[in-house]
Every structure is written in C-alpha cells, then in structure tokens.
Amino acid sequence: MSQSPSLEAMKEKIDAFLVLYPVIDEPLKKVAASIKVEKAYIFTAACALPVLLMYFIGIGHVIIDLIGFVYPLYASIKAVETKDKDDDTQWLTYWIIFSMFKITEGVADFLISFIPFYFLLKALFLVWCYHPSTKGAQQVYNSVVKPYIVPAINDFESKTGKSE
C-alpha cells in the first residue's frame, strides 16, 4: 500500500523525533516489531489516546481551564513584578480576551456542544492567545475589541456622563 507524500513526511518527522529519545524509541521499536505496526503510528495513537479519553470521559473542561489559567496566572504575576509595561499590556490584553471568550462561550454553550473536539480547538486558541511568539490576544484585541467594543464603551460613557 503506498502512502501519500505528506503522510510519509509526517511519519519520517515522528521517527526522527523518536530517535532523539531512546527511552521512548527502543520500547516502541520492540512493540512495533511484535505487532507489525510502524512505531510512528503507535506513537501517534499513544499521543491521541489521552486527548480522546478526555473528550469522551468529559474532563476536557478541567484540562482547558488549567491551560487557560495556570500559565497565564504565573506569567501575569511575573509581569506585574517587573518594571517593563509591555508584558503588563500583553497579559492584561490576554485576560480581556479570555474573559470575553468565557462570556461568549457561556451564552453560546448549546451551539458549541455540537462542535466536534471543541475542547481541543479551545486549548489551541488559548495557547495561541498567550504564546509570546503569536500574541494572539493582541491580534484579537486590535481586530475586534478596539474597532467595535471600545467605541461602544466610549459612546456609552459620553451618553451617561461616566468616565474614568
């Protein structure tokens, strides 16, 4: 059976990764030889199994909350303790987007329940939001909050006479 070039390339990358970790690679070689399945496939299945179990058992929300709260909390505390204001802005922006996301998610819960592997997509979104190389929260803020929500807040405050 021939494999697609992209599948073969992925398998080669996984094999190259596994070679770097003999503690994982050697037992996988033995298992692969005994069941006549390539070690890259066994490794992929072993990585996917916990994710699938979380999905089907229903503890994905606990893992997602850990992803969404633990590192950002740690990084926020560190940011507050530094003199640099850029990291404060990054983490305040993350918490704004995270809060808006949680509110939207709560309102749209019924619709969200139909999205397969939603918890995995949410985890990826949250990491994208707070990862320093992507600064996704700032991208969301600049494309959604700043042009649409900030003017609405300013308009509301001008009509009510409230401002900071």
Whole-number percent of the chain with pLDDT over 70: 96
Q: Do 43 and 16 touch, CB atoms closer than 8 A?
A: no
- Beta carbons within 10 angstroms of residue 51's beta carbon: 15
C-alpha 158: how far from chain center = 38
Burial 13-42 (b: 16+ CB within 10 A, else e): ebeeebeeeeeeeeebeeebeeeeeebbeb
Instruction: Tell me the per-residue pLDDT of 30-45, one tens digit each, with 9 for 90 and over.
Output: 999 999 999 999 999 9
Burial of residue 43 (number of CB atoms within 10 Å: 0-12, 13-18, 19+): buried
DSSP state of 148: I
The whole-chain average pLDDT of the chain stands at 90
Residue 164 has pLDDT above 80, yes or no: no
* pLDDT at residue 4, rounded to an integer: 66
With a cut of 70, say whether residue 6 has pLDDT above it: yes
Backbone angles phi, psi at 112, to 5 degrees: -65, -30
**pLDDT tens for each residue of 9-32:** 999 999 999 999 999 999 999 999
Q: Rounded mean pLDDT of 104-111?
A: 91
pTM recorded for the entire structure: 0.67
Give the model confidence (pLDDT) of 47-79 as tens digits: 888 877 776 777 777 888 889 999 999 999 999
In this prediction, residue 105 carries a pLDDT of: 92
pLDDT at 163: 64
pLDDT at 133: 93
